[in-house]
Each structure stands twice: as C-alpha cells, then as structure tokens.
C-alpha cells in the first residue's frame, strides 16, 4: 500500500490541507495554521531569552544575491525564478494568440530581479554584511519565511512551498558551534514536550550531479549538517523536521562578514520545518487536535 498517498488523502479529506492540483502546493486550514503558530510559540519559549534580532523577509529574494550565493552551482534542480511579461502591446497580442492556441506562452517571459527564497537564511547574510563589521559578540537572528524548492511529490512532507523558521548565529567558531549544540539539545527537549520521539543523525544537502557527490561526502566527513528526524510517512525513512548547519567561514568569506579586526566570522543556522512538524504532530496524535494527549495540548496551548 502506498502509505504516502494514504496520509495525504486523509489530510485532504479532513480539510487540514487543501488540494490545489499541484503536488507539493497546498492550502492550509485554520486548524493546521493554529498548530504551526502554537509550535512557533514553543520555539520562542525555548529560545526567546537569547535575544535574537527578529527579521522577516518575503518569500522572494534579490536575484543578484541569489546568484552570488552559488545556489545554482549546488542546487540548480531546486531553484525557482520569478519571470514576468515585459513586452509591448504587439507582444501582448502574440502572447494571447499563443495562449489561445494552447502553445507555450511562457517562453517569452523575462526574468525579474526576484527569485523565490530557497532557505530562510539566504537573504540574511548580504543584509548583515551591508551593516558593516560585526560586534565582538557576533550576531543572532530569528527568521521565518516561506521557501520554494522544485521537488513535486505526493509525500505531504515534501512540499514545494513551505515555511522554515530559523535561528542564525554569526560569531567565532566557538560561538557558532556552541549555538548549534544548544539547539540540538533544545530540539530534542521540545519534541519530547509535544510527544514526538526523534533521532538525530548526520546528514548532507542534495547537491546536484557528480561533483555534488564530493561536496556531500565532504559535508558528512566534517559533521557540518545534522538533522532531527521524525517518522511521518515512513518508519524506515524518517523525515528531517529540523536541521543544524555549520557553514564554517564559507558564508563569512563569501559575503564579507567580518569583525572589527578584519577576521572572518563563522556562521551556523538551525532550521525548523514548520509544515513537517505540524504533519508529524497530526500523524502521531491524530487529525483532530481535541483528541491529542493533554500533555501535548498543554505544551502547545498554554
Ligand atoms: P534544509 O535547508 O536543511 O534542507 O531544510 C531545513 C528544514 O526545512 C528541513 O529540516 C525540513 O524540516 C524543512 N524542509 C526541507 N525540505 C522540505 C520540503 O520539501 N517540504 C517541507 N515541508 N519541509 C522541508
Ligand atoms: Zn539556514
């Protein structure tokens, strides 16, 4: 039996997710959103006292920053670009004619200055770099954004447009590795509070192509990425619901994130996959939140 299909069907039937006709692109009900809001408050309860600077970017980013980030080198298969009609009246006539004849009208669309944000932290690095040198104690930021990844799938835990909540630390190597360790411990505690059993494992990003295999191996060898996994649509293949990424000084060098003495900052980010966490909760505790264990309800709604 196709377990993935079954869970997605149940989510549609219950109205928690709303079918749009595109795999991985769903509407969400008020109830689904309420679970996400409640979980975000739990994140604040654990991390709020750290004093992170909250910043919210829209789900599109400056194309020039995106190009400089190197995303197209590593993940061309996942990127989404925003294109628009930029022609004259005559071009418009041909466009309408092409659409009427069922032709491919999209070929004439031109790239705009906006690409869809691939991870919540991407717009942050150039933004902080523009402010000038980092203070000696570095920086800590709290982000949330819809992110786009072109990977259509009927697994409800793999969506094309989903939200990522992130905390990002910039500082010395010691600062950022300590930050990452702290959130790994917090992640496990938070999930225990909401009745979810987790494992943490070393991981790698889905780098493209043959050269990407080497990047992935390097990332694993150096323990740069960990994921917190929860079974959702498969027990043998649990889903990454949080990731803990240490970028060493790669982003610091790329964007010019430096301290006053000119030395380069290290960075790390911790990401919560908000839809995945909500889906894990619905999968483990049932589709009706009123039936969830009291302990879980009080952790989320106190
Ligand atoms: P990463 O940048 O590590 O790939 O993603 C950060 C977090 O975003 C992941 O740990 C996961 O929780 C969430 N995420 C990644 N890809 C998807 C996806 O395709 N769908 C959903 N809903 N969440 C995702
Ligand atoms: Zn990040």
Cβ neighbourhood burial of 151 (10 Å; 0-12, 13-18, 19+): middle
Element (H, E) at 244: strand 239-246
pLDDT value at residue 35: 98
Mutate to test the pocket of ligand 1, among 243, 245, 251 (most ligand atoms within 8 A of CB): 243
* Ligand 1, atom 17, residue with closest C-alpha: 158
Closest CA to 114 of 165, 175, 52, 60: 60
In contact, 270 and 238? CB cutoff 8 Å:
no
* Ligand 1, atom 7, residue with closest C-alpha: 273
Q: Architecture of 2-80+118-301 per CATH?
A: 2-Layer Sandwich (3.30)
Dist. CA 133 → ligand 1 center (Å): 31
List the domain boundaries for the chain. Answer: 2-80+118-301, 84-115
Dist. CA 148 → ligand 1 center (Å): 10
> Cα(first)–Cα(last) distance of the chain, in Å?
39
* Pocket of ligand 1 from Cβ distances under 6 Å: 119, 149, 151, 157-159, 162, 164, 227, 240-243, 271, 273, 275-276
Dist. CA 300 → ligand 2 center (Å): 25
**CA–CA distance, 60 with 36 (Å, rounded to integer):** 21
Mutate to test the pocket of ligand 1, among 156, 271, 272, 274 (most ligand atoms within 8 A of CB): 271
* Ligand 1, atom 13, residue with closest C-alpha: 273
Indicate the pTM of the whole model. Answer: 0.96
Dist. CA 271 → ligand 2 center (Å): 6
pLDDT value at residue 3: 60
Dist. CA 120 → ligand 2 center (Å): 6
**CA–CA distance, 112 with 83 (Å, rounded to integer):** 5
In contact, 61 and 122? CB cutoff 8 Å:
yes
Dist. CA 261 → ligand 1 center (Å): 36
C-alpha dihedral (55, 56, 61, 64), degrees to nearest 10:
-10
pLDDT tens for each residue of the chain, 302 residues long: 556 558 999 999 999 999 999 999 999 999 999 999 999 999 999 999 999 999 999 999 999 999 999 999 999 999 999 999 999 999 999 999 999 999 999 999 999 999 999 999 999 999 999 999 999 999 999 999 999 999 999 999 999 999 999 999 999 999 999 999 999 999 999 999 999 999 999 999 999 999 999 999 999 999 999 999 999 988 899 999 999 999 999 999 999 999 999 999 999 999 999 999 999 999 999 999 999 999 999 999 98
Angle at 199 between CA 197 and CA 205, to 5 degrees: 130
Cβ neighbourhood burial of 76 (10 Å; 0-12, 13-18, 19+): exposed
The closest-lying atom of ligand 1 relative to the alpha carbon of residue 151 is 19
Q: Note the ligand closest to the C-alpha atom of 272.
A: 1
pLDDT value at residue 302: 82
Phi, psi of 86 (to 5 degrees): -125, 20
pLDDT value at residue 50: 98
> What does each C-alpha distance from 169 to 24, 177, 249, 251 come to in angstroms?
30, 9, 12, 12
């Amino acid at each position: 039996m196709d377990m993935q299909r079954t869970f997605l069907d149940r989510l549609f039937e219950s109205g928690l997710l709303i079918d749009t006709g595109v795999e991985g692109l769903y509407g969400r009900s008020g109830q689904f959103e309420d679970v996400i809001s409640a979980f975000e408050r739990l994140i604040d309860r654990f991390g709020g006292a750290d004093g992170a600077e909250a910043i919210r970017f829209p789900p599109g980013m400056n194309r020039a920053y995106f190009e400089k980030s190197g995303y197209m080198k590593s993940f061309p298969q996942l990127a989404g670009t925003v294109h628009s009609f930029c022609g004259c009246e005559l071009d418009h006539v041909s466009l309408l004619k092409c659409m009427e004849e069922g032709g491919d009208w999209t070929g004439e669309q031109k790239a705009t200055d906006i690409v869809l944000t691939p991870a919540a932290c991407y717009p942050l690095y150039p933004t902080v770099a523009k402010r000038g040198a980092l203070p000696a104690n570095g920086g800590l930021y709290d982000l949330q954004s819809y992110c786009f990844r072109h990977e259509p799938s009927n697994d409800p835990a793999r969506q094309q447009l989903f939200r990522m909540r992130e905390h990002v630390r910039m500082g010395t190597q010691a600062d950022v590795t300590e930050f990452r360790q702290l959130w790994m411990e917090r992640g496990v505690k938070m999930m225990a509070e909401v009745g979810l059993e987790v494992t943490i494992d070393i991981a790698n990003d889905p780098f493209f192509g043959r050269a990407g295999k080497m990047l992935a191996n390097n990332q694993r060898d150096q323990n740069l990425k960990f994921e917190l996994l929860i079974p959702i649509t498969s027990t043998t293949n649990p889903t990454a619901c949080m990731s803990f990424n240490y970028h060493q000084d790669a982003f610091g060098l790329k964007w010019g994130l430096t301290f006053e003495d000119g030395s380069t900052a290290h960075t790390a980010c911790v990401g919560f996959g908000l839809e995945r966490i909500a889906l894990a909760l619905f999968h483990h505790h049932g589709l009706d939140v009123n039936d969830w264990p009291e302990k879980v309800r009080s952790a989320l709604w106190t």
